[in-house]
Amino acid sequence: MHIVPAIAALLSLGLASSTEAAPLEAFAVANSCTAPRGSLFLNGDVGTPENAYTRDYIHPGADVILNGTWSTHVYSSTSRDFVRIHVTPTLASQGLWWDVEFSTRALGTPLAVGTYPHAQRAAFAAPGYPGLSVSGDGRGCNTLAGEFQIHDIVWDSVGLLKLSASFLQRCEAGNAVLRGMVAYERQ
């Protein structure tokens, strides 16, 4: 995808901003997640040559992934507390694969519509903390601080039917931010 249409799409959704992250509440209000189903928006801080510390390690820059192969993994169909959305973009220039994980296992509740501040890395979230992890192309955070909002989530007897969520993630307690949104619906 051409970077200009990607940035235009992110700007229209309020996902492209300065290197300063907005509070999740403002981010969520600005992003009703009305994106088409089967959409992944990633907007990571790009940094500067002088200050690589402000460059997001996972996905520096903006991208809109609309075409690809989508799958989900739910660790338990009864607890409904962990979801991984896996995307393999059709265009190799958008990466080989992306995973977005949301978890409430350490909260002891199912994932539901709501705001989840103080998220830690999904696989290692301490008791009382939600889990989040956005990774791809062999890049992931060892530790992270983040927050996410589930805008819409629907389960059925098979598992996850649809999900839309927005997120903010900082790797290794750094200043660089990865912002994004995912909208998924099982076909």
**Structure confidence at residue 22 as a pLDDT band (50, 70, 90):** very low
| 0.85 surpassed by pTM | no
pLDDT at 187: 82
pLDDT digits (tens, 9 = 90+) for 119-130: 999 999 999 999
Task: Spell 76-99 as b/e; 16+ CB within 10 A means b.
Answer: eeeebbbbbbbbbbeeeebbeebe
Helix (H) or strand (E) holding 185: strand 178-185
pLDDT at 68: 93
pLDDT digits (tens, 9 = 90+) for 35-93: 667 899 999 998 877 776 688 989 988 999 999 999 998 876 678 999 999 999 999 99
pLDDT at 17: 42
Average predicted confidence (pLDDT) for the chain: 82
Residue 37, both tokens: 């189903």
Q: Which of 119, 44, 135 is nearest to 87 (CA)?
A: 135
**Structure confidence at residue 185 as a pLDDT band (50, 70, 90):** very high
Residue 19, φ and ψ in degrees, nearest 5: -70, -10
Neighbours of 62 (CB within 10 A): 24
Sequence spans of domains, the chain = 38-185
Residue 123 near residue 148 (C-beta atoms within 8 A): no
Mean pLDDT of 13-26: 41
Q: Which of 169, 137, 150 is nearest to 109 (CA)?
A: 150
**What residue spans of the chain are helical by DSSP H?**
3-13, 24-30
Residue 166, both tokens: 């927005």
pLDDT at 54: 82
Residue 58 near residue 47 (C-beta atoms within 8 A): no
pLDDT digits (tens, 9 = 90+) for 50-63: 776 688 989 988 99
pLDDT at 157: 85
pLDDT at 50: 75
Residue 165 near residue 148 (C-beta atoms within 8 A): yes
Mean pLDDT of 138-142: 94
